[in-house]
Structure 1
């Protein structure tokens, strides 16, 4: 089975950029230790600092789904409630 690539996109409230960035950074070391996590990299747009993007690679969709239901993601959602303007994901199949 091909690995699963995810792009996770977060558009922060302009007044909450520092909060969102700090909370997103907390996810990195925990997630990188999860079963099936191949790559988990956070990016911030150079022209729009309110836009963040995770580039992720997972061993399978099932393992990524476990990640999506993990306690640290629930904690992130609680800590950032009302501070995110938009959040969207893309699930992609790695081709080459």
Structure 2
């Protein structure tokens, strides 16, 4: 990856009884992450048909910026808490921009 920009999607399906906590935590991550130097964008979305599913669409300046993000206390905390907050953990997909 090196110096190439990185684009990705992270998907969270919240447990119904933990939905408000998950939503709050994800919104807090937007606030923290938007100040990271290598963050190009970090947008939180909710599925139109299923309000338990959240998506982060993310853009990073390079692999070093993403590595920094992955080691922050808030990312490490959501990874640790994902089994309690979500039905099946965090699904991450990397993408290549084609236009």
Could you say which TM-score interval applies, normalised by the shorter chain? 0.7 to 0.9
Range 5-14 or range 79-88, more displaced = 79-88
Cα deviation, 1:39-70, whole Å, max 9, x if unaligned, reads 00000112111100000110012211210111
Give 4+ residue runs of structure 1 displaced > 4 Å after superposition. 78-81
TM-score of the pair, normalised by structure 1: 0.88
Distance in 2 separating the partners of 1:5 and 1:49: 24
- Aligned partner (choices 68, 72, 75) of residue 73 of structure 1: 75
Cα deviation, 1:19-52, whole Å, max 9, x if unaligned, reads 1000100001110111210000000112111100
Distance in 1 separating the partners of 2:8 and 2:82: 21
TM-score of the pair, normalised by structure 2: 0.85
Q: Show the 5 A alignment for 1:1-96.
A: 1-78=3-80, 81-86=83-88, 87-96=90-99
- Could you tell me which runs of 5 or more consecutive residues in structure 2 were left unpaired when the two chains were aligned: none
Distance in 1 separating the partners of 2:97 and 2:67: 17
- Could you tell me which runs of 5 or more consecutive residues in structure 1 were left unpaired when the two chains were aligned: none
Range 24-33 or range 77-86, more displaced = 77-86
The answer as to whether partners of 1:3 and 1:94 remain within 8 angstroms in 2 is no
